[in-house]
């Protein structure tokens, strides 16, 4: 493969994967926002309990749950990129 064809292949792959990854990140943020208990958040802020407010907005469990699709998308993209890179190395050795 030529350098230009390699670049085109990689660019095409990135163009296809980027919108999917962006959608997964937006969905994760939407899931986090939808799960916020506004009453509890209001009470924490009224007490000026910033740490408590942060725990209400972004508890660890919720972040992990919301980020699962993003994590899967990252893994998938890394595998695809690694496969593409391995193919390129194998072609160079041939």
In a domain, 88, yes or no: no
- pLDDT band for 2, please (50, 70, 90 cuts): low
| Residue 52, domain extent | 3-81
In a domain, 90, yes or no: no
In a domain, 23, yes or no: yes
User: What is the tens place of the pLDDT at every residue in 34-55?
Assistant: 888 889 999 999 999 998 998 8
Q: Compute the CA torsion angle 82, 84, 89, 94 (nearest 10 deg).
A: 140
In a domain, 89, yes or no: no
In a domain, 26, yes or no: yes
Q: What pTM, to 2 d.p., does this model score? A: 0.46
In a domain, 46, yes or no: yes
Residues 6+ apart with CB under 8 A from 84: 9, 10, 13
């Amino acid at each position: 493969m030529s350098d230009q064809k390699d670049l085109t292949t990689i660019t095409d792959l990135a163009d296809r994967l980027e919108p999917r990854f962006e959608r997964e990140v937006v969905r994760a943020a939407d899931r986090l926002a939808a799960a916020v208990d506004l009453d509890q958040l209001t009470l924490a802020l009224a007490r000026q309990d910033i740490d408590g407010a942060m725990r209400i907005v972004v508890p660890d469990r919720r972040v992990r749950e919301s980020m699962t699709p993003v994590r899967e998308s990252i893994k998938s993209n890394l595998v695809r990129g690694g496969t593409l890179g391995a193919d390129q190395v194998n072609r160079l050795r041939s």
